């Protein structure tokens, strides 16, 4: 019988002829954790009597949520990760190097045909290179550390067909929010998303990461983009192996098919308090904004800050509101400095925070004040997400966020007369 | 074989993990046993009084949606509830339930009302659900493989204890 990509990868990793609905025991290629979930996983590891990590070379812990360490309680949690590294030989990336999802990508752990788990719901990001990449809980992660494997219920797959090309200025973030509006907050629960169609070709690799990242907001188990020419070329230049890449079989079963003509996707804004409450920017132009945050695992990459730079060179004047810039990684930050982007942002009054999650979930500083409307490039905007239940979070692309920082209200950067 | 009989405590659709245990309670402790008095407090204030009987949970769609906090499953187990029957579960809750030794059964629950006496029997291949109050009977396929072994052990932590060294590390396959 014809198989979808998840069915194929889980079959390969379990040694079984696996179908949607089956429960299999699958070998894990990469285990990712961070300082939010990692310490809890270590507790479970100990309760399970764990005395070794079976494949330490497959495990990466990255300190990204609490950066730099804010207090002694968190310092002890961080210490746990360091002790675990010393004892079991896993890789640990220290604070300041960036967000786990971005760093692990820069370190080239992501390779087609692999099964990746992470103690973080946005582990879905890594499906952009034809992998099954799934967020799991603390006990599951501990179990995988000990045994190298984990049980999975193989999901059904929703097929997303992308056609056409994006209009100028419209980004992967807008596509992600547009899709999220179609799917709804639990529209992909228990399901995998698989992306196809000519439209994929016009999406940069970074756009693809953003789309797979936001798949988590529709409760998808994973989001997969098979390698197309552009992805293959990227893998070649980055020396990433592609010999295990997977395509779905002709005639495999999809639980649903969604068609999106990229040419019809507008700039999008998600309204508080749910990411799937996404609307075209036209409905929100002029909404006053008190704070802007650019960064997070959704949109904190070099390409995001290059677009930001394009916009600030076009719209004169300083930022009208508190503008927090959080490079997704140290590499990104260095690039911003070397290209003069960081300097231009500072000139306009930005605050540049250390690479990491920043204020995304309130774990690091940058809490909005009561009554604030925040425009953020993150993926979540529920009540209290940034640490203050009396603030409202809107979500957008970096281009829209930075343009709005320059005007103080929701602004379309590509349409004149913004000031 | 595993058999259990209890009174149904019924919930609707989309019971999120914050309803199961409110985040404000988790500030003080995340010990599931200490949290039991607050189980479902916002939607069923007197739920604790019902726990004197043998009970099980019956729910609609998407039970356990919201955050993936494992304590939302641990607390149900700590309250002595071994079974949740729901039309569907949120993915992360389903995993957490199994890993904490709770039998999570996906089934049509429209035949159940509050207080119905329900019997659940899990055999090798099948799970049978009787609603003794209405004489409804439902047949389902029993969980198999690893998930069954975890359930039989009572959760992921005791499951690991049942494995010997070879089983723990012996399932290593060559890298492809
Ligand atoms: S940036 Fe935000 S969403 Fe991404 S991992 Fe960090 S806290 Fe989570």
- Per-residue pLDDT tens for B8-25? 999 999 898 888 998 778
Mean pLDDT of B142-166: 89
Q: Kindly determine whether residue A189 and residue B169, on different chains, have CB atoms separated by under 8 Å.
A: no
Q: How many CB atoms sit inside 10 A of residue B75's CB? A: 27
- Per-residue pLDDT tens for A131-156? 999 999 889 999 999 999 999 999 99
Residues from chain A that touch B157, judged by Cβ atoms under 8 A, are: 44, 47-48, 139
Residues from chain A that touch B156, judged by Cβ atoms under 8 A, are: 44, 48, 139-140, 143
Q: Kindly determine whether residue A151 and residue B168, on different chains, have CB atoms separated by under 8 Å.
A: no
Sheet with B2-10, strands from edge to edge, namely B103-106, B83-86, B55-59, B2-10, B117-122, B126-131, B136-141
Read off φ and ψ for residue A359, nearest 5 degrees. -80, 10
Read off φ and ψ for residue B56, nearest 5 degrees. -145, 165
Centre of ligand 1 to C-alpha B169, Å, is: 32
Mean pLDDT of A255-268: 98
Q: How many CB atoms sit inside 10 A of residue A167's CB? A: 14
Q: Is residue A19 very low, low, confident or very high in pLDDT (cuts 50, 70, 90)?
A: very high
Q: Is the Cα dihedral A400, A405, A409, A412 positive or negative?
A: negative
Structure tokens at B170: 């012996």
Interatomic CA distance for residues B147 and B154, integer angstroms: 11
- Supply the pLDDT for residue B57: 98
Q: Cα angle vertex A39, ends A38, A43, to 5°?
A: 115
Centre of ligand 1 to C-alpha A391, Å, is: 18
Strands A322-325 and A291-294: parallel
- Supply the pLDDT for residue A150: 95
CATH of A267-407, one of 2.130.10.30, 3.30.230.10, 3.30.499.10, 3.90.105.10: 3.30.499.10
Residue limits of CATH 3.20.19.10 in chain B: 2-143
Structure tokens at A261: 């003509």
Q: Is the Cα dihedral B106, B110, B112, B114 positive or negative?
A: positive
Is the per-residue pLDDT at A419 higher than 50?
A: no
Interatomic CA distance for residues A208 and A112, integer angstroms: 14
- Nearest residue to A123 (alpha-carbon basis) of A351, A132, B170, B96: A132
Q: How far is A195 from chain B (nearest CA, A)?
A: 21
Q: How many CB atoms sit inside 10 A of residue A263's CB? A: 13
Structure tokens at A182: 């179609």
Measured from the Cα of A100, ligand 1's closest atom is: 5
Classify the complex by whether its ipTM is higher than 0.95, answering yes or no. Answer: no
Interatomic CA distance for residues A207 and A172, integer angstroms: 4
Decide: A294 in ligand 1 pocket, CB within 6 A.
no
Decide: A296 in ligand 1 pocket, CB within 6 A.
yes
Q: How far is A336 from chain B (nearest CA, A)?
A: 34
CB A302 within 8 A of CB A309: no
Read off φ and ψ for residue B29, nearest 5 degrees. -155, 155
CB B109 within 8 A of CB B58: yes
Residues from chain B that touch A20, judged by Cβ atoms under 8 A, are: none
Class of CATH domain B2-143: alpha beta
Mean pLDDT of A55-70: 97
Interatomic CA distance for residues A206 and A260, integer angstroms: 19
Mean pLDDT of A293-303: 98
Interface test with B, best of A139, A184, A215 (most B CBs within 10 A): A139
Cα–Cα separations (whole angstroms), residue B10 to A365, B35, B61? 42, 20, 12
Q: Which of A175-189, A208-222, B62-76, B149-163 is predicted with the least confidence, judged by mean pLDDT? A: B62-76
| Burial of residue A104, with CB atoms counted within 10 A of its CB: 0-12 exposed, 13-18 middle, 19 or more buried | buried
Question: In chain A, where are the structural domains located?
Answer: 5-263, 267-407
- Per-residue pLDDT tens for A371-385? 999 999 999 998 888
- Per-residue pLDDT tens for B122-131? 999 999 999 9
CB B104 within 8 A of CB B89: yes
Interatomic CA distance for residues A90 and B104, integer angstroms: 34
Strand partners, A134: A117
The answer regarding whether domain A5-263 maps to CATH 3.30.70.260 reads no
Interatomic CA distance for residues A150 and A41, integer angstroms: 14
Mean pLDDT of A232-245: 97
Residues from chain A that touch B176, judged by Cβ atoms under 8 A, are: 12, 244
Residues in chain B: 176
Q: Kindly determine whether residue B160 and residue A139, on different chains, have CB atoms separated by under 8 Å.
A: no
Q: How many CB atoms sit inside 10 A of residue B33's CB? A: 12
Mean pLDDT of A325-344: 98
Is the per-residue pLDDT at A281 higher than 70?
A: yes
Strand partners, B138: B129
Domains A5-263 and A267-407 share a fold: yes
């Amino acid at each position: 019988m014809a198989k979808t990509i998840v069915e194929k990868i889980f079959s390969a990793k379990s040694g079984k002829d696996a179908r949607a609905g089956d429960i299999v025991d699958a070998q894990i290629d990469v285990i990712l954790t961070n300082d939010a979930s990692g310490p809890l996983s270590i507790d479970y590891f100990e309760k399970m009597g764990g005395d070794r990590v079976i494949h330490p070379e497959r495990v990466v812990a990255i300190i990204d949520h609490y950066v730099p360490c804010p207090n002694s309680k968190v310092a002890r949690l961080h210490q746990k990760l360091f002790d675990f590294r010393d004892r079991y030989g896993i890789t640990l990336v220290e604070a300041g190097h960036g967000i786990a999802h971005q760093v692990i990508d820069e370190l080239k752990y992501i390779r087609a045909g692999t099964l990746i788990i992470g103690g973080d719901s946005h582990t879905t990001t890594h499906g952009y290179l034809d992998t099954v990449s799934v967020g799991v809980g603390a006990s599951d992660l501990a179990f995988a550390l000990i045994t190298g494997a984990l049980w999975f219920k193989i999901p059904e797959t929703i097929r997303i067909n992308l056609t056409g090309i994006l209009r100028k200025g419209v980004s992967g973030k807008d596509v992600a929010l547009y899709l999220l509006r179609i799917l709804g907050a639990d529209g992909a629960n228990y399901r995998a998303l698989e992306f196809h169609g000519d439209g994929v070709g016009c999406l940069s690799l970074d756009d693809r990461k953003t789309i797979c990242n936001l798949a988590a907001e529709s409760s998808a188990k994973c989001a997969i983009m098979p390698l197309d020419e552009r992805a293959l070329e990227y893998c070649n230049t980055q020396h990433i192996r592609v010999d295990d890449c997977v395509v779905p079989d002709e005639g495999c079963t999809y639980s649903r098919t969604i068609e999106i003509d990229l040419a019809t996707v507008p700039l999008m804004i998600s309204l508080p308090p749910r990411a799937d409450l996404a609307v075209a920017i036209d409905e929100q132009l002029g909404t006053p904004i008190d704070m802007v945050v650019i960064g997070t695992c959704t949109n904190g990459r070099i390409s995001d800050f290059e677009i930001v730079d394009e916009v600030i060179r076009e719209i004169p004047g300083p930022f009208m509101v508190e503008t927090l810039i959080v490079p997704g990684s140290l590499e990104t930050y260095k690039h911003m400095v070397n290209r003069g982007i960081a300097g231009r942002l500072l000139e306009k009054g930005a605050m540049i925070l250390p690479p990491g999650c920043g204020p995304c979930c309130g774990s690091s500083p940058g809490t909005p004040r009561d009554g604030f409307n925040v425009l953020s490039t993150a993926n979540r905007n529920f009540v209290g997400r940034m640490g203050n239940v009396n603030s409202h979070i809107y979500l957008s692309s970096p281009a829209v966020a930075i343009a709005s920082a320059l005007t103080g209200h929701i602004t379309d950067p590509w349409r004149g007369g913004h000031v | 074989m595993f058999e259990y009989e209890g009174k149904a405590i019924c919930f609707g659709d989309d019971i999120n993990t914050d309803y199961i245990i409110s985040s404000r309670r988790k500030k003080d402790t995340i010990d599931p046993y200490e949290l039991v008095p607050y189980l479902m407090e916002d939607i069923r204030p007197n739920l604790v009084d019902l726990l004197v009987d043998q009970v099980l949970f019956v729910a609609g769609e998407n039970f356990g949606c919201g955050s993936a906090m494992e304590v939302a499953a641990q607390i149900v187990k700590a309250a002595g509830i071994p079974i949740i029957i729901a039309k569907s579960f949120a993915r992360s809750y389903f995993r957490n339930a199994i890993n904490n030794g709770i039998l999570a059964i996906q089934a049509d629950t429209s035949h159940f009302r509050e207080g119905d006496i329900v019997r659940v029997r899990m055999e090798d291949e099948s799970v049978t659900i009787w609603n003794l109050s209405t004489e409804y009977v439902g047949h389902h396929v029993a969980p198999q493989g690893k998930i069954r072994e975890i359930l039989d052990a009572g959760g992921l932590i005791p499951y690991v204890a049942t494995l010997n060294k070879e089983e723990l590390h012996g399932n290593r396959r060559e890298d492809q």
